[in-house]
Amino acid sequence: MKNFSQWFHNILEEAEIIDSRYPIKGMNVWLPKGFKIRKYVLRELERLMDEDHDEILFPLLIPETELAKEGIHVKGFEEEVYWVTHGGMRELNEKLAIRPTSETAIYPMFALWIRSHIDLPIKIYQTVNTMRYETKHTRPLIRVREITTFTESHTVHEKYDEANDQVQEGIAIYKRFFDSLAIPYLIHDRPSWDKFPGADYTFAFDTLMKDGKTLQIATVHNLSDTFAKTFDIKYEATDGSHKYPYQTCYGLSDRVIASLIAIHGDEKGLVLPPLVAPIQIMIVPIVFKDKSEEILSKASEIKNILEKDGFRVNIDNRDIRPGKKYYDWELNGIPLRIDIGPRDLKDNKMIITRRDTSTKEECSLSEDFPSILNSYLTEINSNLKDKAWKFMREHISKIDSLDRIEKTVLNGNIGLIKWCGNDDCGKEIEEKTNLTILGIQYRIDGDCINCKRKAKHVISIAKTY
């Protein structure tokens, strides 16, 4: 994969994930095939969220006065906000912001909803689009002006410790989610200068793209009582006093799908984990004129059996040569392909081809083939997961001196370095290396790579998207 950027762009178009030709910078059209993948990805995420959150839906627009209330927060976003200034020809009394994120839409309502400790905790989430006026060059699914799929959670708690625990719960949910998609990740405690604007602290999930740049794919924030104070959210405690609650928020976006495609894909096209493959098994009948009806009826017989067992399966009946079909479904990342032709009909068998390994195996139709196919799908998922984690682990290297960072990290690695924990020193490291500190991986003793003071942390450093 010589040019990752170009490969990524091509595959999005060729596999008909999105159409990036929509005439507004950074805004793309979801095509049917891409949207189906998005649907199954969301379905899994919502399944996990629904275990302990309620889904809600807030409006798109936020009054200027609400957006502007939280000083640090608004500063973090002010350069990127789209504004609605007119209703028809008439200028609005108050400008309305198109949400860049929803804290300032949701928290004024929290202030109305929360009266007593009995109302707590609140745990909600919504999947919405958000808009950010990105000035840098945009990239489909990775850096966009309209984030079309932003699943954000917001929670409110009595105690700071409960918010801490909720951050851990958020991290646990995202771990399960990314595991189910076979996406590898590193979890970083973001440095103070890279926190979510207004947050006490931020944990972020980063994954590694094939060109060696990392991509932030999820964040989890402890907001402490900062927003509660700003939006005057109070509850009456058991002792009758009025207190500010503590909040968390966490979210992830289209970038999940970007990493899904980028990490598992290969030269032939997409490779989808079975969980989110819109079609898990494609049956290709090899039709000859004299035998066509017999073969087609066998194919639909197989399809019916598999559908009954819950597989997402389809038959490619198009009147084109089989080779073309093979290329098509490989491009689309369908995990398993079944070929059935005259020879197979005679021997009462079919040919199963795996997308991830390209291996072909014969399978007798008199056996319990649904359970064989099911074990193939399970194997594909674990193989994708192993491969992806192995790739990322192979590209993490411990680095002892600043001089060596450039060579190692610019070669497509995530560098692990020791750091004293001082902000100025950290920013100095970023400046010297022209890389981004992703955050703390774990605690350790030793000397800081830069200022040589006592190190407190091992941090990751990388080129980022």
Residues 63-122 touching RNA, rule: CB under 7 A, are: 79
Residue with Cβ nearer RNA (359 or 382): 359
Among 33, 36, 117, 139, binds RNA (CB under 7 A): 139
Residues in 191-210 that interact with RNA by CB under 7 A:
none
Of 98-106, 352-360, 387-395, 437-445: span binding RNA (CB under 7 A): 352-360
Dist CA 200 CA 192 (whole Å): 9
Amino acid at 75: K
Find the farthest-apart pair of alpha carbons in the chain and give their distance in angstroms, rounded: 86
Instruction: Tell me the C-alpha to C-alpha distance, in Å, between residue 46 and each of 38, 50, 78.
Output: 12, 6, 30
Residues 14-53 that bind RNA (CB under 7 A): 20-21, 23-26
What 3-state class would DSSP assign to 35? helix
Part of the chain binding RNA (CB under 7 A), chosen from 222-230, 344-352, 395-403, 439-447 = 344-352
Interface pick for RNA out of 64, 169, 339, 356 (rule CB under 7 A): 339
Among 288, 367, 403, 453, binds RNA (CB under 7 A): 288
Please report where in the chains the tokens 């073969």 appear, as a residue. 295
Q: How far is the CB of 227 from RNA (least distance, A)?
A: 27
- Letter string b/e over residues 78-108, b meaning 16 or more CB atoms within 10 A of that residue's CB: eeebeeeeeeeeeeeeebbbbbbbbbbbbbb
Report the interhelical angle of 32-50 vs 255-264 (nearest 10°): 110
Closest approach, Cβ 147 to RNA, in A, equals 15
Size of the site for RNA (CB under 7 A): 46
Q: What is the distance between the alpha carbons of residues 417 and 447, in angstroms, rounded to a whole number?
A: 10
- Among positions 405-434, residues that touch RNA (CB under 7 A) are 431, 434
Residues 390 and 441: their CA atoms lie apart, in Å, by 18
Piece of the chain touching RNA by CB under 7 A; list 30-38, 135-143, 243-251, 365-373: 135-143
Q: Which of 344, 416, 440, 448 binds RNA (CB under 7 A)?
A: 344
Alpha-helical segments (H) within 309-422: 322-331, 342-347, 369-394, 402-410
CB under 7 A: which stretch of 36-44, 65-73, 84-92, 315-323 binds RNA?
Answer: 315-323
278: contact with RNA by CB under 7 A: no
Q: Minimum CB separation from RNA for residue 438, in Å?
A: 16
Alpha-carbon distance of 144 to 199, in angstroms, equals 23
CA distances, 130 to each of 29, 133, 149 (Å): 15, 10, 8
Of 154 and 355, nearer to RNA (C-beta) is 355
Cβ atoms of 116 and 69 within 8 Å: the answer is no
| Residue 331 binds to RNA (criterion: CB under 7 A) | yes
Angle at 10 between CA 101 and CA 273, to 5 degrees: 70
Q: Whole-number minimum distance, CB 259 to RNA, in Å?
A: 17
Tell me the window of 138-146, 155-163, 364-372, 454-462 that interacts with RNA (CB under 7 A). 138-146
Kindly state whether residue 327 participates in binding RNA, applying the rule CB under 7 A. Answer: yes
Residue 377 CA: distances (Å) to CA of 58, 110, 335, 353, 388: 38, 44, 7, 11, 17
Least distance (Å) between residue 26 CB and RNA: 6
Q: Which is nearer to RNA, 30 or 231 (CB)?
A: 30
The DSSP letter of residue 242 is E
The yes or no reply on residue 340 touching RNA (CB under 7 A) is yes
Closest contact distance (angstroms) between CB of 351 and RNA is 4
Whether 17 and 37 have beta carbons less than 8 Å apart is answered as: yes
Are the beta carbons of 183 and 173 closer than 8 angstroms? no
Q: Out of 162, 328, 428, 447, which residue is the one contacting RNA (CB under 7 A)? A: 328
**Cα separation, 321 vs 19, whole angstroms:** 27
Q: Which of 102, 222, 353, 436 is the binder for RNA (CB under 7 A)?
A: 353
- Residue 297 binds to RNA (criterion: CB under 7 A): no
User: Considering the complex, what minimum distance in angstroms separates the CB of residue 354 from RNA?
Assistant: 10
CA-wise closest residue to 59 among 86, 99, 88: 99
By CB under 7 A, name the binding residues for RNA. 5-6, 9, 13, 20-21, 23-26, 79, 135-140, 286-289, 292, 319-324, 326-328, 330-331, 339-345, 351, 353, 358, 360, 431, 434
